[in-house]
Amino acid sequence: MANKLRIAVLGASGYTGADLVRLALGHPRIEIAALAAGARAGASMAEVWPHFGHYPLPSIIAADAVDWSGIDYVFGCLPHGASAALLSGIAGPRIIDLSADFRLRSAETYADWYGLPHPAPALLGHAVYGLTEYARPALPAARLVACPGCYPTAALLTLLPVARLIDVSRVTINALSGISGAGRAAKEANLFAELGESAAAYSVGRHRHMPEIEQELALAAGIPATVSFTPHLVPMARGELLTIVVEGAAAPELRAALHQRYAHEPFVHLLPEGLAPSTRMVRGSNHCVLNVFADRVPGRTILIAAIDNLVKGSSGQAIQNMNLMAGLPEPTGLEQVALFP
């Protein structure tokens, strides 16, 4: 067998890090060489994640204790700010960052939305925006890949093929997310008893994924884009559903564009006409399912997309990117069928 690719995961104590490890354990060409997480350094993975108890995994160490010389790929599953600060100091491994730090192409926009100066502005020009289906040409040579946010992944997979057909100044996105999207931090707001049997919007009118969606949509459209975006938390652990109202084109036209673009994609699927995408169709898998619905209001069309926020929305896409960076077949290690029920 060919040599394995040695990876390090930074932020292995969070949900994104854990799902990356889950996928890496099933990947035939990955060797998990190092796992880091500042707050849990010294613990075994079994202590932090009991479901990994029966796998041989390195213990958790501090990020600055990683020996980078033997690492081929480093996956950054850290909070924004911390991610760029840490990753910018690493030489050697190719970097796949799952944080927000290298997604925005402008350091000023970053500072506006994230409330801090960009920690490594010199790197911004070198980062490849890793929406895999659109980044393929750039990935083989990429040294630094910025994986899209979970919401932008679903939004852009849906909107990019129709960017020149719709009015990109009038896009309204409503998003539902499972609670894992809020992270593993011990906060009262994320307790089971607080969130069970409840639904609510959050970050209304100011969620940080808006400029990211607009940036990429504008690039595809060739003109500025404006998106209203309202995310909600609903009582499920995983899954993300976007309902997007667009104007300026009719459903058949948009359907045809999506069909043409995705007919041969391994992970993005236009559903049969009339079938509503559901997060249960993609749970635990790297798939994205899409559909197009005519609104009865003339001139408006409704696009719906579902992904698993932790897989295609995060760790799965990161591995999909690594596969292309490494010259592996794109679906390697990502063949998991959705877990339903």
**Of 31, 55, 65, 140, which one interacts with a second copy (CB under 8 A)?**
55
- The yes-or-no answer on residue 150 being catalytic is yes
Residues 84-123 close enough to bind a second copy by CB under 8 A: none
Residues 182-211 close enough to bind a second copy by CB under 8 A: 182, 184-188, 190-202, 204-206, 210
Q: Which is nearer to a second copy, 92 or 106 (CB)?
A: 106
Q: Which is nearer to a second copy, 20 or 86 (CB)?
A: 20
Is residue 25 close enough to count as binding a second copy by CB under 8 A? yes
Is residue 223 close enough to count as binding a second copy by CB under 8 A? no
- Residue keyed to tokens 């081929």: 72
Specify the stretch interacting with a second copy by CB under 8 A; choose among 29-37, 77-85, 177-185, 253-261: 177-185
Whether the Cβ atoms of residue 96 and residue 73 lie closer than 8 Å to each other: yes
In angstroms, rounded to a whole number, what is the distance separating the alpha carbons of residues 122 and 23?
32
In angstroms, rounded to a whole number, what is the distance separating the alpha carbons of residues 198 and 227?
26
Active-site position among 77, 147, 150, 288: 150
Specify the stretch interacting with a second copy by CB under 8 A; choose among 119-127, 129-137, 143-151, 180-188: 180-188
**Of 32, 96, 104, 179, which one interacts with a second copy (CB under 8 A)?**
179
- Residue keyed to tokens 């579902």: 306
Is 36 in a helix, a strand, or coil? strand
With b for 16 or more beta-carbon neighbours within 10 A and e for fewer, the 168-205 pattern comes to bebbbbbbbbbbbbeeeeeeeeeeeeebeeeeeeeeee
Is residue 18 close enough to count as binding a second copy by CB under 8 A? yes
| Total residues in contact with a second copy, by rule CB under 8 A | 88
Least distance between a second copy and beta carbon 272 (Å) = 7
137 upstream amide cis, omega within 30 of 0: no
Is 32 in a helix, a strand, or coil? strand
Q: Which is nearer to a second copy, 142 or 176 (CB)?
A: 176
- Calculate the alpha carbon distances from 50 to 13, 22, 78, 262 in Å: 12, 12, 21, 38
Whether the Cβ atoms of residue 310 and residue 239 lie closer than 8 Å to each other: no
Residues 263-302 close enough to bind a second copy by CB under 8 A: 269, 271-272, 275-284, 287, 289, 293-297, 300, 302
- Residue keyed to tokens 């707001």: 189
Residues 234-263 close enough to bind a second copy by CB under 8 A: 234-239, 241, 243, 245
Residues 298-327 close enough to bind a second copy by CB under 8 A: 300, 302, 304, 306, 310
Q: Which is nearer to a second copy, 64 or 335 (CB)?
A: 335
Interhelix angle 316-325/15-25, rounded to 10 degrees, is: 50
Is 12 in a helix, a strand, or coil? coil
Least distance between a second copy and beta carbon 125 (Å) = 26
Straight-line distance from the first to the last Cα atom of the chain, in angstroms, rounded to the nearest whole number: 36
**Of 51, 126, 136, 143, which one interacts with a second copy (CB under 8 A)?**
51
**Of 58, 107, 232, 256, which one interacts with a second copy (CB under 8 A)?**
232
Least distance between a second copy and beta carbon 289 (Å) = 8
Is 244 in a helix, a strand, or coil? strand
Active site residues: 150
